[in-house]
Structure 1
Amino acid sequence: MRIEAFGFSELVRLSVFAGRSSAFLARVDSDTWTRTAGTVRETGGRLISVWGAEEAPGTFAISAAYALEDGILWLKLPVGDGHGDSDGYPDISAVLPCATRMQRAAYDLVGLRAIGADDTRPWLNHGNWPADYFPLQKLSSGTEQFQIQEADYPFVHVDGDGVHEIAVGPIHAGVIEPGHFRFSVVGEKVLRLEERLGYAHRGIERLFEHVPALDGHRLAGRIAGDTTVAFTWAYCMAVERALNGRIPPRAQWLRALLLERERIANHLGDLGALGNDAGFAYGLSQFSRLKEDWLRLNNLAFGHRYLMDRIVPGGLSTDLDARFVTSMLTQCDQIDAQVRVMQRIYEDQSGLQDRFAGAGILSARLAEHFGVCGPVGRASGRKIDVRIDHPYAPYHEIQVQMVSDDRGDVAARVAVRFDEIYESIRLIRTLLADLPGGEFVSRIEYGGSPSCGVGWIEGWRGDVFIALETGADGTILRCHCHDPSWQNWPALEHAIIGNIVPDFPLINKSFNLNYAGHDL
């Protein structure tokens, strides 16, 4: 369904996407808020994110972003004064289940409650915050007395003969971010998994309020280190649209080059780790070698292994020297050939395939139910890719080919990663062959009035979304950042059901979701 077909009385078209997609902003009432959620679900649209904001002292609004046929629809619903349990907005999680945790986080951060929601447990607030403390309210100074002892979290209990619980985390072995997993099992068979996250909450959305809009890209790039290109590009896209900036064609193509290199680096790492989790250490050693070679060329060509701070408002901080074009093309040939060899090795290892096939099945129905996106969604037959569905420059010119699989198990998620590497290599070759000349950055200036902008990028985990509101003096009034893991974490809880506990690390790795970018 197209956005204009909703017939909103107050519909503002934000700056046009550089590509073939747009973004619209509409202020609505409670009835329209609820009705839109149902229409989006019925017509095949997607919920991207839900978040709250204090627009002015004592004036609040809840927002939702939807992906529709022709772009992003950003809805704003004014909501009371942010105090009291009766002060809230209509629940939409009954229609769009992936909204559940987003609504819980919105209450913790802003104090806006979803009226009628079944699950109102705290999400980011682990019991350490004062009773009336909401960190994104303007009057929250951060000097309140915090608690030392965390509150008990009311996990859902499973009753029955032989049922017991296994608690894993939040502190894990090795270098991994914190997250708690509560398994309800009979023997080793998992009946239910419930996650408790929020341990990595760093107050990033509050930090944005203390950063000038043209400097916020550095903070955005540190939301998640493995997704620094996608988050930085999404932030810069939001700034550029809010301030009506024009980006040189060369910069757009180089940004896509960085994004595809980030995608390949992460898929190489995941394929090695998946082999290792299934007892095939050779896979880890070989893919680790390939990833290291890939990162070293990043450093030589752009000055940073993980490409942090390379994208800036208006373009890039550094150009690509012509001598590295040949190096990258040669590396693409080498990586393509070696990854294909490794794929054949993986497929010929009967023990490996025995662990992959049929493990952690996420059906197409469940993937749609939770709004699952990215490679995990595409491995369950959900053909969603922002680069294809809503192409932004330069993807409207180079035409990405969809990669998908219908099986929905670990084997499918492995296959999608292999195929996405090959497709990204093809895209890199195209980008380098047709790379425009000219400037690689242009000057972006404040417009002198408050403005809004959105950024929407297909990162390697799925679509990364940023909604930005700026003040007249170039300050950030609100910057909401959304990682695709919000949609995908609940689906993992269902993918493990019926599997055995020892298979969880493998299934979890096949999703490889974000902790810090999800908690912010």
Structure 2
Amino acid sequence: MAETATTDTVKTGDRITALLADADVAGPQRPWPRYLVDATVFEAIAKLLGEGERDMLGLWAEAGAVHLALRRVGEDPCVVSTPVIDGRFPSVGVRHAPAIRPERAIRDLFGYEPVDAPDLRPWLDHGAWTASAPLGAAGPAVPRDPADYQVLPVRGEGLHQIPVGPVHAGIIEPGHFRFTANGETVVRLEERLGYVHKGIDGLLTDAPLDRAAKVVARVSGDSTVASSFAFARAVEAALGVVPPPRAVVVRGVMAELERLANHFGDIGAICNDAAFAIVLAHCGIFRERILAVSAAVFAHRLMMDMIVPGGVTANVTAEGAKLIVETLDAITPAFEEIVRLYEDTPSIQDRTCGTGHLPADLARRFAAGGPVGRASARDFDARRDLAYAPYAGRAFEVPVLTAGDVDARIQVRIREVAASMKLIRELLRALPGGPVFAALPDGTEACEGIAVTEAFRGDLLVWLRLAPGRIVARGHVRDASWFQWPLLEAAIENNIVADFPLCNKSFNCSYSGADL
């Protein structure tokens, strides 16, 4: 009987659950558990993660420990923690490639060595910091030339390199791209980010709750609503606070307006990179109308700092709700016409269809979220699969395509625009009465909270440990870009150099969100 049970456990892909069966539970972390394991178990879990038993939701550190967030399809996530012994911890990246860059960030920030890690090059530390490992030992820094960086070697006949950035032609964030090409065909792309490192983890450490909320809201400005939403939910989970029903619905309206604004911007920008500027012009107008109505209703175009632990700081009046619906009604037929123009124009279809293909297995391995993952057959949306209010119990379309190319990423955004418009109308029709804020308890005990929201790029995670007095003892924010940037390197292979802007914009990863 015992042998049969073990075989069944292995067949159902439940070996990680078996490893955690005897683990101590740290706490209180809500709503999902955090397990304490030794290095041997942590290493075994990393191996199974690499075999596909779980999706990795995040990897981060604090003083003396490393934390790994995991999710199995159909189950709530969990966090697995292991102590750092003599400044070392088992590498996850050696067994699971999506963990490589987070491990490099941990090494820069804390000085912890991932044992057997495949890549120990600095990630965030470009040699200009005043201290090495600023969140760890904080020893004296050894200044070095920021340009002194070893790109990975590529060997072959007829290859040449094209360096791009970190300063770009447009008003965008800095990032360096090193292309290795054979003629016009890209053989390999390697990215170097970290130029907009802001010290987010350090700014959150020991920060009062209100200040921490503002820091999280500014990790990546285009996702400020989603970031604040996740932060508020993590705090509320930790403290056991339930925000008022009206506040929850208003949060949903804000989140969908943010999604609309960014999807309109992305659709237009992708087409513009294929010299189809008419779509950019019209989508720019649609985006501006969403930002304008957001400013009219919430007094801020990006709705920054509107979502706070306990509720929201801005309400939706009857006039505001009417204005939002009228704006959507005006945009809908015009956007549908632009979509028809995109789909009926062979020259733009020739540029987007088949370009920048991301294989489904890579999207699945990297747990790619948002349009990047859903265009490559990964059927995941945190609003549905890690359901939270106001989405829990609601039916809405989550478009999933299989082509995995630029066109598929556009089509996912197009369908999500329609789904978001429908959701906003439904939320406003069912807007309950009552207050929009619930007071927080004093917080006299240490506690932990974790939350994931669906930003326009994909799932966004916030983990917090709160100290007495509403102080964030430690916090971590993980933008979807962490797991999407490496996939852009794969998607551009065997495409021509001139198609990189098209592929890059179809991903639209955040430099800032990955440069914590």
The normalised TM-score by structure 2 is: 0.93
Change in CA separation of 1:148 and 1:41 when aligned onto 2, cut-off 3 Å: closer
Structure 2 residue 9 is matched with structure 1 residue 10: no
- The amino acid that maps onto 1:96 is H
CA distance in 2, matches of 1:448, 1:8: 30
Deviation, 1:39, is 3.7
What SS class does the counterpart of residue 264 from structure 2 fall into?
helix
Who is 2:511 aligned against?
A: 515
- The amino acid that maps onto 2:35 is A
Q: How does 1:57-68 map to 2 (within 5 A)?
A: 60-68=64-72
Who is 2:95 aligned against?
A: 95
Deviation, 1:35, is 2.2
Question: Which of 374, 393, 411 in structure 1 is aligned with 2:407?
Answer: 411
Deviation, 1:149, is 3.1
Change in CA separation of 1:423 and 1:224 when aligned onto 2, cut-off 3 Å: same
Identify which range, 444-453 or 227-236, moves more after superposition.
Answer: 444-453
Who is 2:41 aligned against?
A: 32
* Offset from partner CA, 1:372-394 (integer Å, 9 cap, x none): 22110000011111111110111
Q: How does 1:88-487 map to 2 (within 5 A)?
A: 88-129=88-129, 133-137=132-136, 140=138, 144=140, 147=143, 149-150=145-146, 152-487=148-483
CA distance in 1, matches of 2:184, 2:211: 50
Who is 1:49 aligned against?
A: 58
Deviation, 1:370, is 2.4
Who is 1:19 aligned against?
A: none
CA distance in 2, matches of 1:41, 1:8: 22
Identify which range, 264-273 or 438-447, moves more after superposition.
Answer: 438-447
* Offset from partner CA, 1:411-453 (integer Å, 9 cap, x none): 0001001000001111111111111111111101232111111
Who is 1:57 aligned against?
A: none
Aligned residues: 501
Q: Determine if contact 2:132/2:142 at 8 Å carries over to the other structure.
A: no
What SS class does the counterpart of residue 513 from structure 2 fall into?
helix
Deviation, 1:121, is 1.1
Q: Determine if contact 1:14/1:23 at 8 Å carries over to the other structure.
A: no
* Offset from partner CA, 1:308-366 (integer Å, 9 cap, x none): 01101100001111111122122222222221111000011111000001100001012
Who is 2:6 aligned against?
A: none
Change in CA separation of 1:8 and 1:260 when aligned onto 2, cut-off 3 Å: farther
CA distance in 2, matches of 1:43, 1:190: 29
Q: Determine if contact 2:368/2:483 at 8 Å carries over to the other structure.
A: yes
Deviation, 1:511, is 0.3
CA distance in 2, matches of 1:233, 1:8: 34
- The amino acid that maps onto 1:104 is R
Change in CA separation of 1:145 and 1:495 when aligned onto 2, cut-off 3 Å: closer
CA distance in 1, matches of 2:490, 2:67: 28
CA distance in 2, matches of 1:247, 1:79: 37
Deviation, 1:289, is 0.7
Q: Determine if contact 2:229/2:251 at 8 Å carries over to the other structure.
A: yes
Structure 2: segments with no counterpart, 5+ residues? 1-12
State the identity %: 40
Q: Determine if contact 1:190/1:496 at 8 Å carries over to the other structure.
A: yes
Deviation, 1:145, is 6.0
Change in CA separation of 1:191 and 1:411 when aligned onto 2, cut-off 3 Å: same
Q: Determine if contact 2:59/2:99 at 8 Å carries over to the other structure.
A: yes
What SS class does the counterpart of residue 242 from structure 1 fall into?
helix
CA distance in 1, matches of 2:141, 2:93: 33
The normalised TM-score by structure 1 is: 0.93
Who is 2:4 aligned against?
A: none
Q: Over aligned residue pairs, what C-alpha RMSD do you find?
A: 1.8
Deviation, 1:161, is 1.7
Change in CA separation of 1:14 and 1:268 when aligned onto 2, cut-off 3 Å: farther
Q: Determine if contact 1:8/1:26 at 8 Å carries over to the other structure.
A: no
Deviation, 1:13, is 7.1
CA distance in 2, matches of 1:136, 1:445: 29
What SS class does the counterpart of residue 33 from structure 2 fall into?
strand
- The amino acid that maps onto 1:30 is A
- The amino acid that maps onto 1:71 is D
